[in-house]
Amino acid sequence: MNICVIGTGYVGLVTGVSLVNFGHKVICVGRDEDKIERINRCEPPFYEPGLDHLLTKSITRKQFFATSNLRESIKQSDITIIAVGTPTIKGEIDLIPIKEMSQQVGQALRGHKQYHIVVVKSTVLPKTTENVVKPIIEEYSGGKAGIQFGICMNPEFLREGNALEDALHPDRIVIGQYDIKSGKTYAKLYKDLGCPILFTGLSTAEMIKYSANAFFATLISYSNEIARLCEEIDGIDIVNVWKGLHLDARLTPTINGRRIIPGFINYLFSGCGYGGSCFPKDTKALVAYSQKLGYEPLLIKSVIKINKKQPLLMVLHLKRRIRVLKNKNITVLGLAFKPETDDTRESPAFPIIRVLLKEGANVKVCDPRVKNLNEKSINSNTIKFAKNIEDALSGAQAVLVVTAWDEFKKLTPKIFKKYMNNPIVVDGRRIYNKESMEQEGIQYEGIGVR
């Protein structure tokens, strides 16, 4: 089939090249000409493992290109997938990009003879597809949903850092359908994948995505709440608490003599908080939406509150070792909100850096993939970027590990001692063994241990 994907971000581009891999022809629509040119030169505008390879393959086989011409792209397609950003502004979802796109899609469909399917892939709150997207497209196209065009809501579950694997081998496809014809036609895209396809109403599909993100965010904040409790008690290390919990056969059953470690176990682990482009904004949007409906979402509100404080615990740990941070050289290891991505949106590194700067510390940062500070709240001239790991550690009085990159996991006590004088390590991801660190004379602090 011929597909038009609107949005050249993490979801748009990854969806585009995966659909090519499933045998379809894709046009990806963006609005930034520089970015479009880069994509057409086979250069992904962000880091995602394997994306450069699949993008190059898709373009050289002439199955994929990027453009800013939405009207023409829709004209040449059977299906249009909307994958633009849905940020939150003052805690509420900002639907401007979705509304603008619905209007432009509607205009492009005016006078279009063929039946066309419009699919919302962006994360939107329940009723958005039905009450916002559909009426706008109807108004601007002059057509009727279910007759001239079909409409679906297809939430995306890919995880940055693993996005291609997730998109190429999805665990399920959820298709919220306006009517059976829309759902059936859209499902043809995924017919050979062999994974379950769940057909629902539009709003149910929208809610499934929010419930998934709120669920994983809840597991993280639950893990962090228990970690904070452990920090109040002498002799308990959260790492050992999780070992004990994870062995529960209800969580990790043994099948045919092999213990199964389900994916959600990764979220039952403590650290300096979740970040990224989804959990923070989607939990906030869900709270605001719920409150508008008159329901106070107590649990999700607590999840957000716990997460907001979590990065600052890193500075509290640091201050157990260095009481006054003024003029101290502190290195933050990691800016990306998680490993294998260069996405720094809502990264826990930022609140940590803000406090360090406020207290007068000299801050150096090091990240294998992030080379610019993409954060308005911090003046990039106030921090230094390390050239490499040696530079990051040299002369630092303390390091704070924010992102569990493999490059940081490999650092041994000997390496810390080689470059730092009397090293202090604050482990925000619990990637080092506390005992081995201490045996080698490192002053070790970790989330979830006193």
Binders of ligand NAD among residues 159 to 198 (CB under 6 A) are 160
Instruction: Give the whole-angstrom CA distance, residue 430 versus residue 106.
Output: 50
Phi, psi (degrees; rounded to nearest 5) at 431? -95, -10
Binders of ligand NAD among residues 56 to 115 (CB under 6 A) are 83-86, 97, 100-101
Q: Is residue 8 within the footprint of ligand NAD (CB under 6 A)?
A: yes
Give the nearest distance from C-beta 103 to ligand NAD in angstroms.
10
Q: How many helices (H) and strands (E) does the chain have?
A: 18, 18
Q: Is residue 123 within the footprint of ligand NAD (CB under 6 A)?
A: yes
Q: Is residue 362 within the footprint of ligand NAD (CB under 6 A)?
A: no
Give whichever of 85 and 271 is closer to ligand NAD, judged by the CB atom: 85
Tokens of 8: 């050249």
Q: Is residue 158 within the footprint of ligand NAD (CB under 6 A)?
A: yes
Give the nearest distance from C-beta 388 to ligand NAD in angstroms.
28
Give the nearest distance from C-beta 192 to ligand NAD in angstroms.
23
What's the 3-state SS for 37-54?
HHHHCCCCCCCCCCHHHH
Which of 48, 138, 156, 427: binder of ligand NAD (CB under 6 A)?
Answer: 156
How many residues touch ligand NAD (CB under 6 A)?
23
Give the nearest distance from C-beta 91 to ligand NAD in angstroms.
15
Phi, psi (degrees; rounded to nearest 5) at 84? -85, 165
Give whichever of 63 and 103 is closer to ligand NAD, judged by the CB atom: 103
Give the nearest distance from C-beta 213 to ligand NAD in angstroms.
8
Any residues with CB less than 8 A from the CB of 215 and at least 6 apart, and which? Answer: none
272 given a catalytic annotation: no
Give the nearest distance from C-beta 29 to ligand NAD in angstroms.
7
Distances (CA, A) of 284 to 213, 220, 303, 352, 395: 11, 15, 10, 21, 40
Facing residues of 331 across strands?
364, 399
Q: Residue 87, Cβ neighbours under 10 Å: how many?
A: 14
Give whichever of 338 and 364 is closer to ligand NAD, judged by the CB atom: 338
Residue nearest to ligand NAD (CB): 9
Catalytic residue among 4, 272, 278, 366: 278
Q: How far is CA 362 from the centre of its chain?
A: 29
Please tell me the number of Cα atoms within 13 Å of 158 on its side-chain side.
25
Tokens of 410: 């490999």
Reduced to 3 states, what is the DSSP secondary structure of residue 125?
coil
Contact 305, 312 (CB under 8 A): no
Please tell me the number of Cα atoms within 13 Å of 448 on its side-chain side.
26
For tokens 């030169």, name the residue: 41
Give whichever of 88 and 443 is closer to ligand NAD, judged by the CB atom: 88
Q: Is residue 207 within the footprint of ligand NAD (CB under 6 A)?
A: no
Binders of ligand NAD among residues 252 to 311 (CB under 6 A) are 277-278
Give whichever of 32 and 52 is closer to ligand NAD, judged by the CB atom: 32
Give whichever of 7 and 423 is closer to ligand NAD, judged by the CB atom: 7
Residues near ligand NAD (CB under 6 A): 7-12, 30-32, 83-86, 97, 100-101, 122-123, 156, 158, 160, 277-278
Provide the annotated active-site residues: 278
